[in-house]
Structure 1
């Protein structure tokens, strides 16, 4: 497959408007303006594009939930791009915005036209200052070129685009917590219903999409839905960015059709680091249940990964070899989720605190069978019972690691007068902290 999103990343000053226009930039927007908003939505629906932020919900269907009326509807519609990339192991949206911000901006203008929005926001983590600067410079270029603002490309479309830098919180990756933060309140998830499509930003109909989801739209408008469906699988069509990190020879971003396997991606990335073997991996960041070497040939699309007992999520493939202690890795993830819990609901606030304590006892070799039973029970009281998906995220690595590596947990117990702790040879073990 010829790369689409990352095709021109390596070219000199790929982030400029001039460079983007040399490679068919904003031609997709011109094609969209020759269509009606409803036709644009139907084209995106026909392409089968699914959200690239985790859940995989069809993008065109999400757009169609917005109440549609006359173009001059008095009710404000908003488009919000979720660029709060927070999932451990995920690093695809930031490189995309850094190397080709106009791909995202063009997608935003097309999406805003389709849902009849006159205001759009990009909510991005404030810590990535270089990306924020790059994005704001690209937005300024687009305004100067008449691609944002009033009468875009001589049409009746007006659009104001704001780049909003958040303070940095994992919980703001949840779309309703993001909207709360964007409105100036503490980032905590809202009760649903009503859903954002009915009452989102400022209680108005709002679409919230991930960066990669929106950035995939211009190529669909330019090349058509059949072209997009020629890649990927029937249920998960198109291309996507896979983030490979950890114990891999060449970590980085790999663009490929949905349905590629980890074995194939590792071949592109030079395999697991020399002299070592794959032990376990995450298909979509630390919030997705871990998989093992027996899952190397599972197609990386939404359906097959779910059948394997995990989720595709953000396609953050974290690779761990045999030197990593599973208990220690899960303990670090649990510490992260306990820190990032917003504290709104009791199951997550209290549950993640106690999960952290128990994982620390297990890692240090101070736990016994009763502690392991308690760990399972508390995890079960958090997963599916918390206000948002953060509780599920905290429990996924615990449940899945107990399924595949229960013996490694048991090996941490003290016995025969010896202290407990990691059973791996300290001289060979890789630090994971």
Structure 2
């Protein structure tokens, strides 16, 4: 990338004036059901219990659910806010922000399986080994705070992300750009606290001595990227010893803030802590924060959508609402991009009676902030929510649009790898979705 070629210490610059300076990605792992949350389908209610009409043709599914009866929406949709944007009763708190949301109802990807779809939504490819979106963003823009990473990941403490940490890996980009996993509390990163009895000056002197030796070693290793990343990690870890605990310390937050994020209640405590931590990181110059919801199964409602989504909406709805409220009240939402989605949606047909199978062929996500007009839906699936039909948005087009909002041209954000100029959006010609920029 030309912006970074002259000096490793030079602050990267956007390709043009960005609409957003920072970004939060709320990733709902497991596949939330669009037809039960953001994409109302009266026809699905009308024909619930009946088989899928032959007119829809063959449907690729994992578990041969195409012959199962259609399952109507689990909870009612209602028009919300001044715009009347329909949002399900599953999310009463988020519904109060309807006028700030641009719901994309026509997302689509290329795999019915979790790992491949997690990779695609995070890296642009269904294959392992590609850099994640956050890594590309860190590579293209760097961090506004030298004491914190440019890209921070707040995983679900339940663990078990399908596809694993490769979802926030740097792939073939320099390893310094991979996501740094953190958690709320006094120990945001394990083994970060200095040993008892060692002063800052002693530790600084030891680190400086090691860094001199390491850099001498690096000169004899043809500037090996992995070794460079490890040397940089030592320096960043030292600076983070004071910065990370401070950002994770909620003692300065009011009781009202703690309550609004649901941190004082068991069901919302965990996700509320991570949403508040994400906000505090953005305030301190972290470029990109990704917050995961969902353990190994997460939103994967194969057996019972009502039970599964009832649980996960209860965990996330209030904290996300509080996050949007704070960003809007502080003015940060004007130049902060907030993204909500999973790796895919769910089928309109039933599975095991009350559940739904994976659906990458048409599903929903939403964006807010960055001067994107809210209170609207972009694109549409077909009459029952099976496939994206109108103003379709492929994952690669989604990524191109998000990069554009951050001031980056996806065609120019490249990295030479094995003789190829690689990019997040892949080798195919991909366009920014201009309808999302209004």
The TM-score range, normalised by the shorter chain, is: under 0.3
Bigger proportion of residues as helix: 1
Q: What TM-score, normalized by structure 1, do the two folds share?
A: 0.26
Q: What TM-score, normalized by structure 2, do the two folds share?
A: 0.26
Q: Which has the higher contact order (CA 8 A, sep 6+)?
A: 2
